[in-house]
Structure 1
Amino acid sequence: MSTQTARTTSSHDPADRPAQAGQSGQAARTPQQATDALVAAVRDGNVSSVVTLTRAMTTGERRAALSGLKALRKELRTDSWSRRSRRTYPALHAAGAACHTGAVATATWLTGADMRWSPAPPKLLLEVFADRGPEWQGEVARRLAERPPSARVAYELMSGLVRLADCAVPTTESYVRGWMDEVRRHRLAAGPELLGRLRSDPHLVTMVTALFELDDIGAQLEWSYGRDGTEGWIPTLTWLTAEGALERTAMLDACVAWLLRGGRTADQRAFLTLLGKLAPTRDEERQRTADWTALVADAGPTVAAHAQAVLGAMALDGELTARQLAEVSRGALFRPEKKLVRSQLILLGKVFGASSELLPELLPAVADAFGHQDTDLQERALKLVEKYAAQVPDSVREEILAAAEQLSAPLRPRAARALGGAPRALESTDTNTEPYEEFLPPVPEPGRPVPPIGSVAELTEEVSALLLASSGRSDAVTFERVLDALVRYAHTDREALVEAVRPVVVRRWWYPGASEHGRPNINFGVDTYGIEVVLASLFEVVRTATLHTAARRSAQGLDCCVHAVLEQPRQARLWEAAYRVASDRPPFLLATPSWTSGQVDPAELVARLDAYRRLGVSPGEVDFAQALLRVRRDERAQPGTATGPSPEAAAAVTAATGLGTPEGDRLARWLADGEPPLPSLQVVTDQESQALLVEVGQAHSLFEGLPAVFHAMGAPLEADTHASRSCYHWTVEREGHELLAVPGRRELVAARLVGLLSQTARYNASGDVAYLPSLAEAPGPAGPAVHLSVAYGIGARNSEERVAAVDALLVLAARGQLDVPLLGGLLSTLMLRGTVKPSRAVDSVRTAAATGAYRTVGAVLRETLPALLAGPAHDGKALRGVADLLAVAAECAEHTGDRGTVPHLAELAARSGSARLLTQARRLHAALGAESTG
């Protein structure tokens, strides 16, 4: 080794020196003896011995010991949750950190995922690293700080290394969050107050500057304590700024910059609060005029309102130029929030009243409100134009006139009169002879799913995606493809399948050694955990007898709530598939859908049964029954009627009979019987909750001759059944699996799920109702259960859920299956009972209309409004949001030119007054162009 190399190594690790014979009373030892002694101390969990031993080791001995430590680490990974592992890991963590000599390798060892739950104490690790060089210590600190917060690196370790190295403090997210958490922990432990700690922090400015670069920091910033809550980050940062410890201009700029960047509401609130506490002066506000203008246009409503107030005060004091105020106004008037638009129009009115010199440049900005979806704001803007139009040049009036085409039809003639002439589009609301064209989504056709999975590698990818899906959720047809492929490759190439899938499942709870809490033979006896029961069977970690018992029990059906009966057939089929993968290994499954609708072609099912016959394999009882329910018998069947088999099914009858097997004969009879009629369904009121639910008559004929697990779907469904006390469901998480249980009979599925779905509207529950578009696209009649599901979705709490309901509504309309009177009546009843909030319905129908479905939405609203207007028409109080429904209905009528009557509308339209309910009633009445009777 050269002198230069020796010097470099020594600077990084002063412990790199030969072990002296007789040192500490010990004889000279070999590297292997040093390794054995260290590994033994680690196994005993003796952390203090680990420190003592590693200090006495040379660099070569440390490196030699790494192989033993890594082998022990690999051993512990298969037993990561045992008491022995928890005792051993801290010592292993410290030993590996001491034996690695490179900064990168040391940081990697320290942050290993398996080390996070039982790491060595930071103080001990700092003791281990105390004899390393400052350059090495600083590099390790930097590497640790660059890890994401999820790595859970102790701040005490990072900051301790920074202190030892006397290096620049890292400004990464992990380090800054750790710094903030450490300050909070000291305060909670009755240490010095926050202000005192931060005053004495030598890195205060650097850390606060870095703090402003973080996302999702609002909750920590808003943390406060003290009797009146005046102690915390925001008040402390305010004090430090006032004292000069933090530079005021930099703090103001940082707050405004964060608000410009945008982010979560909690974060914006925190930085807006801090900005308010800093109390910028008028000069400081004026220096940031461009920032306030950008915030008015693009920030969230709360931040935009603050910026608008700042600029408004400056405008009233004459501190904004006409061009600056016009830019602010255009940003504000373009926003959807009514309050912001109204405030800006009021401000402009005050400015115009104080000085007419600004009119030529500012009045055209008012016209930006002409395109607002709220017609009251359109009218408010038009009133400003009417008041001041005579005071601006002709060129300005012409500019405003062009924008007036965005006004609603009743307001256009007023604009034409105020502006002294207008294009033809403004002279009359009836001169536009362009025929209206409705835009609806393409009618969905049941296309074939993608081809069967073609290789073990492709199957491995699909299994991985399925296991990573949130809560195990997946597209139902994709799930079916994966299930079928597992069965097929377990039959044809089991060894290759096991080896390919092993890396994907090695961390699953049921995999051998993955967890001491995993008990496959107990857990898989009561639940399938989706596809995992088949994977566990493939890896032989669950006894065949356990699967056989579960399969037999599930085929008989279990007592469960109204919703779970739709899931039971899939559970039973999974247990059956897992058992057969472990026993007779069938070549494939019979019930795998031929189409994305979940249905199976009759001829294809005959071919599958023929393959079973030739191989001498008996079909699974549940799998065959599910195949019968999925086979297409007569797609021409009309709702509520029984029909004979279609030509395709009739041909399959002959082929099935020719198989000469019991299953072939059963299929032939099933197809020959044709499609039985659906049971009776009707909407009823649950007397206890006053919710609308769906009662279903007996449907045993649909499931006659099938295993008992299917019979519960044919049992009568009454109102009190929906509220079964045994039900533990609180949210809806559907991906279409239930629809695949009985393809073509979506009313049965919707009826059983509608009570659960109603919770998103009734109790503001957050549930995934993404299955509604699938429900609308599914084959079969769309009756009261489907329409009530859509009605509840329209009133769901979350906007994403309402979008799903809108998609379902539009799909039904495109397919010609939307019952407008039924849906309108359901919506009005739900709103009158307070189940669906009109404001949410307004958002849904406005979204649907904006897609180009004005005629559809207008028709639904004309069926919804009469019941909502009956009370106000007779001096009753209108529900909040009815005026907005009237506005959407009027907008639809203005777009389509449709005419008609709405009961009770004429009485409201005839009243005098400026209340929004009355103005929108007059607008709709005029748009419909006919007298309405009460």
Structure 2
Amino acid sequence: MSEGVSVRGEASVSGSGAVSVSGSGAVAVAVAVSDAVSVSDALLKAVRAGRTSEVVSLLDGMTDAERRLCLPVLKELRKELRVAPWDARSREAYPTLHAAGAACHTGAAGAATWLTAADMRWSQASPAVLLHVLGDRGQDWLGNLTRRLADRPETSQVPYELMAGLVRLSRCAVPTTETYVVGWVEQIGSLWERGDTVLQRLRQDPYMAELVPALFEIPDIGSHLDWLFGDGPDSWFNALATLTEEGFLDRKVMIDACVARLLRGSVASDCRVFLKLLKALEPSRDEERQRASDWLALVSHAASAVASHAQSVLGALALAGEATPRQLAEMTSVVLFRPEKKMVRAQLVLLGKALRRDPSSAAELLPAVAQAFGHEDTDVQERALKLVERHIGAVDPRARGEVAEGAVQLSAGLRARAVAALGLDATDLAPQPYLELLPPVPLPARLAPAPDSVTEVAEEVGALLVSADGDTAAFERALDGLVRHAYLRREELAEALRPVAARSWWMDTERHHHSPDEYFRNAPHGLELVLAALLGRVRMSTLQRADRHGPTSNNCVHSALAAVLDARLWEAAHRVRTDPLPFLLATPTWSSGFLEPDELVARLGEYHRLGARPGEADFTQALLRLRRDDRAVAASAAERAAALGTTEGQRLARWLTGEGLATPTSRRRVSATHILLELGELDGLPEDLPQAFRQLGLPVGVHGSRRYCHHYWNPVEQQHWLAVLPGWREMVAARLMRELATVAVEDTRGAAAVLPLIAEAEGEAGEAVHLCVAYGLGARHPEDRLSAVDALLVLAARGHLDAEKLGTDLAQLVRRGAVKPLRLAESVQTAATTGAYGTVWSILRAALPVLLADLASEGAAPAARGFGELLAVAAECAERTEARGDVAHLGPVAERRGSSRLVTQARRLRTALEQEVAA
């Protein structure tokens, strides 16, 4: 050890005990140092053995110089314990080492650092021991240490008893930092130790007056107060309210602090606790009136409980004549735009009372009431209109004009009443002709050529690995780029890829518990396998076996599509090491996955010229991707393919002139909650299929495979499956249907992300596609519902949506409990508000007769939660599109007694459908 401590400027002692002496006092110094060394040895033995009383006794008799001499030895022991096993011996030594090291530091900064060290945090000396060994220091030193400990973050876990004891010894000002205040709160909460109450402890605490105001400045203090004390009579806020009432705390300061903390917009736990405290303080009417501007600000608070309380306070002031109509109007403008319908309705009730109390305030309040005309809930619109009808006669022309401007936003069923109440011409509120708004039809884009340089290839591959992007076009370009440059300049490509692969665990040659061959044995993990092959991190035996026999994983409902992609990657990885391909034949022409016949013929011609052997999986995938809808183009390409004189050219010619794939038969399978689809065999596949491609023709069953597999947790790979058989999205939808059903039935998350891609893909949108969208519309999580809405709108924009089929499917899923009405209502409301009211109405028109049938019969069970919201969306769509006609079973529901949301919206829908078409 190099560290030494000098003694009287004449001698120094190293950690090993070596002594360096100079000057005439060498003998005396040597004796002193020898004594110090013996003391340090004794201290070290006692610390190692964990003998606390002996360590305290030794420290009590030491001078500062002797303590400094002991410090290097203790630091060495600390280093030793850091790497030692966590056994009984180590556990015994740590508390005594903690105390001895703190006592041997003669500077407050060093002592604070030692006391809060992370390696001794879980086995500290007791606060009593620490206070004993530190108690002989001066008050200024102890006060300095107290401040340093209190300034440490809360995660340092400084014992409150230690800090409080140091405050008593040093007689310094009590710290008000987060660490100290949180420790104080938790110490007050340890009631089980003494059996007294929070109130009693606070009364006895000499620093209560200084620490209570600090509570309002500590972030997230509410989680400690709420968790420790809850809502009972011995709660923290009840104790503080009592102390305030008794005069121990200043009432104005406490109320102002509560309001200020709420205005700062704290976390939920803080809002909950300080709102309870504010209510417990029971501000008087005069105290509330003095803070009217604060209540106006709190009405817009993010926490609904805080906003609701502010609303009730302002409401009481308004009804007592202690808030002006202008203040009430400002408050109304905020509340009517809050999402809590309960607050909105309460505000309209308050406005009604205020208008009855003071009819002269109508000119100020009715324009604010009219803001509710644009509310999404027609019940709210009607309540606001009733207020206008009742009091509009007392307002001046200016206020009447402002109300009339807002009446344009009323639903169609309420506009006639507004016209009569405001004395307007019916044409003034006539709606604009309805125009359906759908998103632009997505068009496939032509793929850009593969990157020209190895640097660009490395950049694109790196981006795909980091982002886990499922974009098929980017994936195909990157794969083609790897193959092309491995053929032309393999060493240069490998060098460029090393930094990209450096973060992959399989590049670490020191790992022995899991080899790259084991990692890649059952799955290629996207482009990782090709990179590992290029960089020599996978054995040839592993590549050869997988290329010939495919992965060893068990079959599942997804394996037919997944095996094709895996086979292509295994083949590419094997060939870059053995017989590099000049480029890939299967790289699609379009982002949809289609490959143009002329382009494949040209690629085969170049292969023939180079004498290259096509990859079996690569060529088969190219055949499946060919666009064959233009028979003239296909026939011309077939002639040129046959003229190549190669085996692949002949196969291509036969495929282009053949019948192609035949649509498989489908059959629904219904369980208690699920509706799933089975597909028959896919006939017409090319002859001589490789092993990995043969499953594509097998039937798609419901019960014949494992329910879950690793594909469920790899949504990126699923996005590539649409390009395996472009133009056959029904095949993909049928294989993904079970996990898409789980987003609604089992509340899983994320599986619906593939729905927009299915909607954008080519091919028939049949039963499988519509059932998948139906499950997505009933998903538990909002992001999955948004994906389903996107898919719905894209299908409608492309003319591929069968609204009657989707509506019927949704009705059946709702009846079986797979889709909850409220979730469906939120989804179709989102779709409608984009401007697709006509599309949504066509879906609901097909679904409602089935759903209403169960509610129209005598003795029908109560409607499930959300049926009223679903009818509200249907009514809004019917009003906007001026739909007319009859919906089966709507009449009996509309004629029910009561004013529930279900009945109200059923009547609204019936009224909309029975109105005469506007000229």
- In the TM superposition, what whole-angstrom CA distance separates every residue of 1:671-708 from its partner, at most 9, and x where no partner exists? 3325422212244312xx33111121111534653323
Check whether the contact 1:492–1:587 (CA below 8 A) recurs between aligned residues: no
Equivalence for 2:801: 818
2:573 to 574, 578, 584: 578
Letter in 2 for 1:329: T
Q: Secondary structure at the match of 2:835?
A: coil
| Residue 923, structure 1, aligned to residue 908, structure 2 | yes
Check whether the contact 1:556–1:709 (CA below 8 A) recurs between aligned residues: no
Letter in 2 for 1:439: L
Equivalence for 1:696: 679
Letter in 2 for 1:560: N
Equivalence for 1:493: 492
- Equivalent positions of 1:346-357 (< 5 A) are 346-357=349-360
Q: Percent identity?
A: 45
Q: Hey, what's the Cα distance between the residues in 2 that align with 1:707 and 1:204?
A: 83
Check whether the contact 2:189–2:229 (CA below 8 A) recurs between aligned residues: no
| Residue 603, structure 1, aligned to residue 578, structure 2 | no
Q: Hey, what's the Cα distance between the residues in 2 that align with 1:305 and 1:773?
A: 40
Check whether the contact 1:212–1:254 (CA below 8 A) recurs between aligned residues: no
The total of aligned residue pairs comes to 847
Check whether the contact 1:842–1:885 (CA below 8 A) recurs between aligned residues: yes
Q: Hey, what's the Cα distance between the residues in 2 that align with 1:660 and 1:244?
A: 104
Letter in 2 for 1:632: L
Check whether the contact 1:314–1:320 (CA below 8 A) recurs between aligned residues: yes
Give the direction of change, closer, same or farther, for the CA distance of 1:197–1:800 in structure 2 (3 Å limit): farther
1:632 to 621, 626, 630: 626
Check whether the contact 2:325–2:364 (CA below 8 A) recurs between aligned residues: yes
Give the direction of change, closer, same or farther, for the CA distance of 1:632–1:849 in structure 2 (3 Å limit): same
Equivalence for 1:42: none
Q: Hey, what's the Cα distance between the residues in 2 that align with 1:534 and 1:190?
A: 68
Q: Hey, what's the Cα distance between the residues in 2 that align with 1:457 and 1:285?
A: 69
Q: Hey, what's the Cα distance between the residues in 2 that align with 1:327 and 1:796?
A: 39
1:775 deviates by 1.1
Unmatched tracts of structure 1, length 5 or more = 1-11, 30-46, 49-53, 60-64, 70-75, 99-106, 637-643
Equivalence for 2:443: 445
Q: Hey, what's the Cα distance between the residues in 2 that align with 1:391 and 1:168?
A: 63
- In the TM superposition, what whole-angstrom CA distance separates every residue of 1:390-447 from its partner, at most 9, and x where no partner exists? 3333443333222212111221221222233446234xx6xx5x53221110000011
1:756 deviates by 1.3
Check whether the contact 2:522–2:551 (CA below 8 A) recurs between aligned residues: no
- Equivalent positions of 1:651-730 (< 5 A) are 651-673=636-658, 675-686=660-671, 689-702=672-685, 705-721=688-704, 724-725=706-707, 727=709
Give the direction of change, closer, same or farther, for the CA distance of 1:484–1:834 in structure 2 (3 Å limit): same
Q: Hey, what's the Cα distance between the residues in 2 that align with 1:891 and 1:930?
A: 14
Equivalence for 2:64: none
Q: Report the more deviating stretch, 728-737 or 364-373.
A: 728-737
2:421 to 394, 418, 422: 418
Q: Secondary structure at the match of 1:411?
A: helix
Q: Hey, what's the Cα distance between the residues in 2 that align with 1:653 and 1:142?
A: 84
| Residue 383, structure 1, aligned to residue 377, structure 2 | no
Q: Report the more deviating stretch, 889-898 or 650-659.
A: 650-659
Equivalence for 2:818: 835
Q: Secondary structure at the match of 1:694?
A: strand
Equivalence for 1:882: 867
Q: Hey, what's the Cα distance between the residues in 2 that align with 1:418 and 1:617?
A: 85
1:223 to 224, 227, 235: 227
1:326 to 322, 325, 329: 329
- In the TM superposition, what whole-angstrom CA distance separates every residue of 1:345-384 from its partner, at most 9, and x where no partner exists? 1122222233323222222222111111111221111112
Q: Hey, what's the Cα distance between the residues in 2 that align with 1:826 and 1:365?
A: 43
1:523 to 519, 526, 551: 519
Equivalence for 2:508: 511
1:805 deviates by 1.0
2:346 to 340, 343, 348: 343
Q: Hey, what's the Cα distance between the residues in 1 that align with 2:818 and 2:362?
A: 48
- Equivalent positions of 1:748-767 (< 5 A) are 748-767=731-750
Give the direction of change, closer, same or farther, for the CA distance of 1:611–1:285 in structure 2 (3 Å limit): farther
Letter in 2 for 1:928: L
Give the direction of change, closer, same or farther, for the CA distance of 1:221–1:463 in structure 2 (3 Å limit): farther
Check whether the contact 1:569–1:710 (CA below 8 A) recurs between aligned residues: yes
Equivalence for 2:756: 773
Q: Hey, what's the Cα distance between the residues in 2 that align with 1:381 and 1:743?
A: 54
Check whether the contact 1:906–1:931 (CA below 8 A) recurs between aligned residues: no
- In the TM superposition, what whole-angstrom CA distance separates every residue of 1:235-264 from its partner, at most 9, and x where no partner exists? 788788889998766665565455545577
2:533 to 522, 525, 537: 537
Q: Secondary structure at the match of 2:684?
A: helix
- In the TM superposition, what whole-angstrom CA distance separates every residue of 1:735-754 from its partner, at most 9, and x where no partner exists? 61222332221111111111
Equivalence for 1:104: none
Check whether the contact 1:824–1:861 (CA below 8 A) recurs between aligned residues: yes
Cα RMSD between the aligned structures? 5.5
- In the TM superposition, what whole-angstrom CA distance separates every residue of 1:288-329 from its partner, at most 9, and x where no partner exists? 433332333452444332332232233233322111111111
1:479 to 468, 475, 488: 475
Q: Secondary structure at the match of 1:684?
A: strand
Give the direction of change, closer, same or farther, for the CA distance of 1:394–1:447 in structure 2 (3 Å limit): same
Equivalence for 2:768: 785
- In the TM superposition, what whole-angstrom CA distance separates every residue of 1:879-920 from its partner, at most 9, and x where no partner exists? 443333232222222222233332233455567764443443
Give the direction of change, closer, same or farther, for the CA distance of 1:239–1:912 in structure 2 (3 Å limit): closer
- Equivalent positions of 1:836-851 (< 5 A) are 836-851=819-834
Letter in 2 for 1:849: A
Q: Secondary structure at the match of 1:695?
A: strand
Equivalence for 1:561: 556
Letter in 1 for 2:592: S
Letter in 2 for 1:312: G
Equivalence for 2:777: 794
Letter in 1 for 2:328: L
Q: Hey, what's the Cα distance between the residues in 1 that align with 2:156 and 2:737?
A: 47
2:408 to 405, 410, 419: 405
- In the TM superposition, what whole-angstrom CA distance separates every residue of 1:489-541 from its partner, at most 9, and x where no partner exists? 45362343244325544xx365234x665433323223434433333334433
Letter in 1 for 2:776: G
Letter in 1 for 2:586: A
Check whether the contact 1:557–1:568 (CA below 8 A) recurs between aligned residues: no
2:399 to 368, 372, 396: 396
Q: Secondary structure at the match of 2:677?
A: strand
Q: Secondary structure at the match of 2:723?
A: helix
Q: Hey, what's the Cα distance between the residues in 1 that align with 2:185 and 2:565?
A: 47
Q: Hey, what's the Cα distance between the residues in 2 that align with 1:449 and 1:241?
A: 74
1:873 deviates by 3.4
Q: Hey, what's the Cα distance between the residues in 2 that align with 1:205 and 1:660?
A: 96
Equivalence for 2:28: none
- In the TM superposition, what whole-angstrom CA distance separates every residue of 1:475-499 from its partner, at most 9, and x where no partner exists? 3433334444444445362343244
TM-score, length basis structure 2? 0.76
Unmatched tracts of structure 2, length 5 or more = 21-46, 49-66, 103-111
Letter in 2 for 1:501: V
Q: Report the more deviating stretch, 202-211 or 308-317.
A: 202-211
1:171 deviates by 6.8
Give the direction of change, closer, same or farther, for the CA distance of 1:784–1:241 in structure 2 (3 Å limit): farther
Letter in 2 for 1:406: Q
Check whether the contact 2:470–2:720 (CA below 8 A) recurs between aligned residues: no
Q: Hey, what's the Cα distance between the residues in 1 that align with 2:560 and 2:7?
A: 70
Letter in 1 for 2:545: T
Q: Report the more deviating stretch, 651-660 or 400-409.
A: 651-660
Letter in 1 for 2:768: A
- Equivalent positions of 1:30-429 (< 5 A) are 214=219, 222-224=226-228, 256-257=259-260, 259-260=262-263, 262=265, 268-269=271-272, 272-273=275-276, 275-276=278-279, 280-297=283-300, 299-422=302-425, 424-426=427-429
Equivalence for 2:31: none
Letter in 1 for 2:622: A
Q: Hey, what's the Cα distance between the residues in 2 that align with 1:915 and 1:19?
A: 96
Give the direction of change, closer, same or farther, for the CA distance of 1:374–1:753 in structure 2 (3 Å limit): same
Check whether the contact 1:370–1:404 (CA below 8 A) recurs between aligned residues: yes
Letter in 1 for 2:825: V
Give the direction of change, closer, same or farther, for the CA distance of 1:751–1:303 in structure 2 (3 Å limit): farther
Equivalence for 1:102: none
